[in-house]
Amino acid sequence: MVNTESVSKSFTVSVTNVSTDISVTAPTYFKVSTDNVTFASSQNIPVANFASGSLVIYVKFAPTELGFKNGNITISSGTLSEKTVAVAGTGIPRVYNYPTFTNVAAAFGTGLSQSNTQTFTLHNDNSNIQKIYAYIKLRCPSAGCNAWDVFANVKVKDPSSNEWYEIARYITPYGKNNAQVDRGFKVDVTDFKSLLSGTVELRSFVEVWGSDGWVVSVDFDFIEGTPDYPYYAISRLIQYNDNSLEGVIYGENASAFDLTKSVQIPANALATNLRTIITGWGHATPNDPDGRPCAEWCFRTHNVKINGSNTFSHYLGPIGCASNLVQPQSGNWSPDRAGWCPGMAVPIRTDNFSSSLAGQSLNYEYAFQPWVNDLASTNANIHAYYAISSFVVVKSNTPIVKPTVTE
């Protein structure tokens, strides 16, 4: 990683009939040592140190910038012919890892809880952080993993409003851990870098209805580099996502949910985007012509309207459940849902505006594709739901305040 030193490698220098000191010089970005403790760009070694006829030289790669670097270590002594050893390394971004929840139980029943809230200390200064990723690892308790695919998420508290912002959502596998996915479900949470700094409150939630449940761990990678912009701020547009059935009721009384907002963008914004997570639930009718009930199965296109015009669209269609890395699961895991799969992170829908909108006011509306529930489903849950969170993110080269959202 850039601005760190690698583990050491070594080679052996053997000498015969040499009477002058041996000089070992490393190329830029590399260091050498005779004791594997003290490293420098060069070492001048008294010939007496070669009393046994040879000496081990240790080498470390110490990049200060990204990319592939190579060169030759030179070994010289007086007028003797120079010897060389080729070295190469690749500088990669520096990563700061922060474990948060560690093997916390999520279960339902007496003395059990679906959620867990804790305070953690994360990276202090995110101005030179290029990306932040959350990794969510699921393990099975001693009784085995819960049998069902259920709604689950991680939230961070916005200290300015005391509101919980959803940073990641995933669906648990049917009765199986996610060990087949390296480090667990990976979610880009860079949009929340203004909140994921210093002391933060996080909440892990799994909508499980059994006493078996899940064992959840979450850690974060903060990747150092040149960000698109050093300063971010984020505000909630809409959140109906306390659980799968606390979403917007689809195809019934839409006026019961506030899906329109007025937004004031800060004057120093240089880029603005929207970030949305959405999953459908329920087996409501009428079915689509291909037999799919709503909203878990029915494929739909939603529109994001800005100032009354359709500006962005979200297609909730198949994303390849049968090719899920977490397999085989029990239950009905392989058929395609509308925009999500059991045992996967829910996709992030990012909408980038073509201009910064700096200093502008805009009207936002989330619009569902028209459909009317006939309330004739024989399923125990005859309603259709869309659990949704949507945020507006602004970025700048100077410190920036969060957008003002008017209800």
DSSP state of 7: P
**CB under 8 Å to 332, separation ≥6 — which residues?**
174
Answer yes or no: are the C-beta atoms of 280 and 171 closer than 8 Å.
no
Starting from the edge strand earliest in sequence, which strands make up the sheet with 22-25, in order?
A: 42-45, 22-25, 67-76, 83-91
Residues serving a catalytic function are: 149, 207, 296
List alpha helices for 191-235, DSSP H.
none
Compute the distance between CA of residue 181 and CA of residue 282 in angstroms, rounded to an integer.
Answer: 28
**CB under 8 Å to 187, separation ≥6 — which residues?**
133, 134, 135, 136, 167, 168, 170, 345, 348
192 residue type, one letter: F
Q: Which of left, alpha, beta for 375 (phi over 0: left; psi -120 to 50: alpha)?
A: left
Answer yes or no: are the C-beta atoms of 302 and 377 closer than 8 Å.
no
46: Cα within 13 Å, side-chain hemisphere? 3
According to DSSP, the residues that pair with 156 across neighbouring strands are: 165, 202
- Give which of 349, 388, 354 is closest to 368, Cα–Cα: 388
Answer yes or no: are the C-beta atoms of 200 and 225 closer than 8 Å.
no
Q: Residues of 357-394 as b/e, b for ≥16 C-beta within 10 angstroms?
A: beebebebbbebbeeebeeebeeeebbbbbbbbbbbbb
Answer yes or no: are the C-beta atoms of 59 and 30 closer than 8 Å.
yes
Backbone angles phi, psi at 106, to 5 degrees: -125, 115
Compute the distance between CA of residue 283 and CA of residue 278 in angstroms, rounded to an integer.
Answer: 17
Answer yes or no: are the C-beta atoms of 1 and 96 closer than 8 Å.
no
